[in-house]
Structure 1
Amino acid sequence: MPSRSVPVELRGVLYFATESPVWGGGRAFYDPEQEGRVYARAHLVSAAQFADIAAQEMYRSPGEDLDLSAVLTSGVAQLGSGRYETLVCAGQMDGLPVLTFTAPWGADDVTLVPPSRAYVSFVASGLLEAGAWDAGTVAAYVASSRGAAGHWSEEAIRGLIAE
């Protein structure tokens, strides 16, 4: 488990694309090159924990350390061409790098795919649990995200959060 978790706002946009075999709809991706604001949760984890989480999301075997020198130096490191195989340093918090992973493509370069009910509920509940935003703010944010917009209303997302 992370030693702590805090809400953060990052420069960029959240978008949903590709098809998740687990969730049955679009996956969440981060495009740091777009103008906007991303609501997220930062989890304080060790480098080994980050490597393990990244490996699982990349469908790789966990247990190997990641060389983080490139992402810490340049702000981005591409480990492969697949989804979640691009590491991004989105800034610093309390003197520590804020690292995440996303796709090598941007929000404008891929077909958007609406997220499933279960995934919207998971994402929205996680943001609400961060404690920085109320249910209305979270619902409006997720509903306006690329891929969710036009498929998920604020009202529907508020209903999921309330369940």
Structure 2
Amino acid sequence: MDDEPLWYVAYGSNLHRERFRCYLSGGRPRGGARHYTGCRDPRPAGAEHPVTMPGGIYFALTSLTWGGGMAFYDPALPGRAAARAYLLTRRQFCDVLSQEMRRDIGADHDLSEAIAHGRQRLGPGRYETVLKVGERAGHPMLTFTAPAPHPPNAPTAPYLTMLGHGLREAHGWSAERAASYLARRPGARGHWTPRDICDLLG
């Protein structure tokens, strides 16, 4: 079961491959304040694909890594959320999830409720609710988010830069399209214009 493949669907800063690599093999991403332990199995993802999910993302709370609002997924929002699916082993997914929950790696979380019923709450924290957002090649696609929407909070420039580069890398978008997408998200809307974000992306 530990090596059973599943898809981790990233919609925030882990859209960026180099940043996500820190969750797998350890390290501190450029522009971030946190050093990540890495997984027990540090191998790269077995495959990756650009995907979208029904719903949208919004920015809320305050990131200890980037400052400002963090990206959360809400399937009830209109539209579709741009994401990137990484094919991991179950054990790797559990260690990525533990790092997002700011827990020690090594716990093999029981994900059966999320896989069978689409939603599973592992705790009250910000990324402690696991959602199944589909299947691909016969494997479940899982992501994690907050248990309920939080009031919006504007993200910082370094965080938006990481997300923007991740969108461009994963989906092949232009800087203008990535900037427009991010500027429309709750939390960023009214604080960041597409031109502001486009300037961050060079």
Q: Which residue of 1 aligns with 2:14?
A: none
Tell me the CA shift for residue 134 of structure 1. 2.3
The residue type equivalent to 1:129 in the other structure is E
Kindly provide the CA deviation profile for residues 1-39 of structure 1, in whole angstroms up to 9, marking residues without a partner as x: 212221111001100000112101101000012222100
* TM-score of the pair, normalised by structure 1: 0.93
Q: Is the 8 A contact 1:139 1:157 kept in 2?
A: yes
Q: Which residue of 2 aligns with 1:95?
A: 138
Tell me the CA shift for residue 153 of structure 1. 1.1
Kindly provide the CA deviation profile for residues 17-63 of structure 1, in whole angstroms up to 9, marking residues without a partner as x: 00112101101000012222100111111111110011001011111
The residue type equivalent to 1:133 in the other structure is W
1:81 equivalent in alignment to 2:124:
yes
Pairs within 5 Å for 1:1-163 = 1-106=44-149, 110-162=150-202
Residue 28 of structure 1: SS of its match in structure 2? strand
Q: Percent identity among equivalent residues?
A: 43
| Separation (CA, whole Å) in 1 of partners of 2:164 and 2:95 | 24
| Separation (CA, whole Å) in 2 of partners of 1:81 and 1:3 | 31
| Separation (CA, whole Å) in 1 of partners of 2:122 and 2:107 | 13
Q: Is the 8 A contact 1:7 1:132 kept in 2?
A: no
Q: What CA RMSD, in Å, does the superposition of the two structures yield over aligned residues?
A: 1.1
The range that moved more, 131-140 or 97-106, is 131-140
| Separation (CA, whole Å) in 2 of partners of 1:138 and 1:94 | 28
The residue type equivalent to 1:77 in the other structure is Q
* TM-score of the pair, normalised by structure 2: 0.76
Tell me the CA shift for residue 136 of structure 1. 1.8
Q: Is the 8 A contact 1:71 1:89 kept in 2?
A: yes
